[in-house]
Structure 1
């Protein structure tokens, strides 16, 4: 179709199409269709994704939309599309109307997502995370301390918070339970931890040794029963 036969509303969309394609680069194709000639409706293209040329026909989707809804057809934005050669596209079809509201053409954007889909799959695989609970550490949140004393202090604080009772009103059994929980978390592998725990529970370090012995004995008995 000669340029002087193109509707002004369609002619005005050419720089828009060119600008969109230039903005989004080599993966983007923008075409204009003049729907007065469906069999050779493609009158302008910027970029190349679908390998069509000027004079190509309108797509079956546009024909079906117009058949169903006529001039009430709504724009189709961001839908999944695929080419015969396997490209995955994000497409949009925007209908252009004359002053009376009649659809006279459409501007179609096709963005090739194939490379992005590959990158997305790689990133999704890389970003998969496992919960510590799957490895049996339901109550553990790894902490990054500046020194070992901070590690000990954090673990002691977390255990006391889990028990949910102020130290001054804790019974002996509850303190033994606290020592058992701390033992389970490996705190007594740290040199000097007994002194820290003793101070936190307001007892002597010798009492902590007794609590630790009692806690391990209780744990051994529970395992024997199981």
Structure 2
């Protein structure tokens, strides 16, 4: 492994402290990752609020490789569209860190899971609704995947949580509600539910029993 200079080592150590502070401040909505761009095959030095499933020692991303190859690569790329491996939409910001020679040493990356904010928005909408029948008479077309996702979001909102944070007993109640509403008649309904909850199809089948 390439030996770091004292300056480069200090930059990485300080960046790890910055990442820890950001991670604690932005938890649980934002993943914060420190990349060592001098060792791209084992680039990830630290990861906080792990939303992507990556681990310390994992390799650099395509963006990291691009920075390594080009010292003129933009130092800050903010709020660009990204996607986790399971399809969740994300908003990302990447900040490159250079040493005194102008070489990229590291990168600080932040990835926001937008599905968490969609769940939070639904919870706020539920909280702000008025009338005893708010939400009860809404008619959702059970013919498509989006109808299932909307109903799951609404169920989670009533519990002031997100679909991926539902507990086992809440998931069982959700499955009963989906079945009663006719949503489970949709083609590939089990797969749609599993993806939106972030669980396996086998788990969904067990909750449906």
Q: Normalization by structure 1: what TM-score?
A: 0.48
Correspondence list, 1:178-193, <5 A: none
SS of the equivalent of 1:78 reads strand
Hey, what does 1:48 align to over in structure 2? 50
Q: Normalization by structure 2: what TM-score?
A: 0.52
Hey, what does 1:187 align to over in structure 2? none
**Shift in Å, 1:86:** 2.0
| Runs of at least 4 residues off by over 6 Å | none
Correspondence list, 1:1-226, <5 A: 7-67=9-69, 70-74=70-74, 75-118=76-119
Q: Which segments of 5 or more consecutive residues in structure 1 lack a partner in the other structure? A: 127-226
User: For each residue in 1:70-126, what CA deviation from the matched residue of structure 2 results, as whole angstroms up to 9, or x when unmatched?
Assistant: 111111111111112122211111001111211111011111111223555896xx9
Q: Which segments of 5 or more consecutive residues in structure 2 lack a partner in the other structure? A: 129-209
**Shift in Å, 1:64:** 3.0
- Give the distance between the partners of 1:101 and 1:12, measured in 2 at CA: 18
RMSD: 2.8
Residues 66 and 36 from structure 1, CA distance in 2 versus in 1: closer, same or farther, beyond 3 angstroms? closer
Residues 65 and 9 from structure 1, CA distance in 2 versus in 1: closer, same or farther, beyond 3 angstroms? closer
Greater Rg, structure 1 or structure 2? 1
Residues 119 and 44 from structure 1, CA distance in 2 versus in 1: closer, same or farther, beyond 3 angstroms? closer
- Give the distance between the partners of 2:37 and 2:116, measured in 1 at CA: 32
SS of the equivalent of 1:7 reads helix
- Give the distance between the partners of 2:98 and 2:49, measured in 1 at CA: 24
How many residues of Structure 1 are paired with residues of Structure 2 in the alignment?
123
Higher relative contact order (CA 8 A, sep 6+): 2
Residues 104 and 26 from structure 1, CA distance in 2 versus in 1: closer, same or farther, beyond 3 angstroms? same
- Give the distance between the partners of 1:36 and 1:64, measured in 2 at CA: 13
